[in-house]
Amino acid sequence: MILAFAPRRGARLLVASQPLLQLVRSTLLCISTFIYMTALHYVPLTTAAAISFTGPFIVTALSPALLGERVGGVRWLAVAAGFLGALVVIRPGFGDVNSAAFLVFGSALASALYQILTRKLAAHDRAETSITYIALAGFVLTSIPLPFVWVTPASALHLLLFVGLGVFGGFGHYFLVRAFELAPAPFISPFNYGQLIGAALLSFVVFGQFPDVWVWTGSLIIVGSGLFMLYWERRNKTRRKATT
């Protein structure tokens, strides 16, 4: 991030309206990523991706307390349906479901808090600054345990995968922050569900794992609830504009 943005912005790259809040936000994303990657050792990629989409519902549930936003009955129903879809994916108490799937809920909670802080800071700090804080916080936090857990990459392919993870992950977050600067959240959010299709394809092609009917059913409930919530918000905004 520094190589990409510092030549153009210089020291101003690290100038933030609320540096402490930026650090807390960045730490939350690092925690969310760490928990998610830990869960991937035990649960299929598509299952983890489906559960992670409960993040927007957690954001909605926390909005009254943290953002002062009003959440109506219809939105609460959509939130409940989204969590129901996640339970269908996990099916606690039924079948061979790894309890590590619940780790993804912890990751989704940390991610939801990160999104709320992103929404708070997006109006004050540039996307380049926000994404650089993420990179710096991640670098510091992961460097602390590094001497104790370091494993040398086994091959050039592994090294290339690590580099790719950094490049695609870093710029993926940058594009997301930039998108929220340029367009309303209801327009952008539906595109996030495309990740579920990508996760299913990669899970099958790379790992030979194909989602079962319960994962697909739960995923459809989660996606349907999210899209309905976005539709309802857009409909309400259109009504308010018409009355004014």
pLDDT tens, position by position, 19-52: 899 999 999 999 998 999 899 888 888 888 888 8
- Domain residues for the domain of 42 are 2-145+155-243
Determine what percent of the chain is predicted with pLDDT higher than 90. Answer: 13
CA angle 188, 59, 121 (to 5 degrees): 70
* Sign of the dihedral through C-alpha 225, 231, 237, 239: negative
Q: What is the pLDDT of residue 27?
A: 93
pLDDT: which is higher, 14 or 92: 14
CA angle 155, 161, 163 (to 5 degrees): 110
Per residue in 207-225, pLDDT (tens digit) is 887 777 878 888 888 888 8
Dihedral of the alpha carbons of 9, 11, 17, 21, in degrees to the nearest 10: 110
Classify residue 107: in a domain, yes or no.
yes
Q: What is the pLDDT of residue 35?
A: 93
Classify residue 150: in a domain, yes or no.
no
Reply yes or no on whether the pLDDT at 179 is more than 90.
no
CA-to-CA distance for 161 and 168, rounded, in angstroms? Answer: 10
CA-to-CA distance for 214 and 217, rounded, in angstroms? Answer: 5
* Sign of the dihedral through C-alpha 75, 27, 131, 170: negative
244-to-71, 212, 236, 239 alpha-carbon distances in Å:
21, 49, 13, 9
What would the mean pLDDT of 144-165 be, rounded to a whole number?
91
pLDDT: which is higher, 189 or 53: 53
Reply yes or no on whether the pLDDT at 183 is more than 80.
no
Classify residue 224: in a domain, yes or no.
yes
Paired tokens of 65: 């307390």
Q: How many domains does the chain have?
A: 1
Q: What is the mean pLDDT of the chain?
A: 82
Classify residue 183: in a domain, yes or no.
yes
Yes or no: say if 170 and 135 are a contact pair by the CB < 8 Å rule: yes
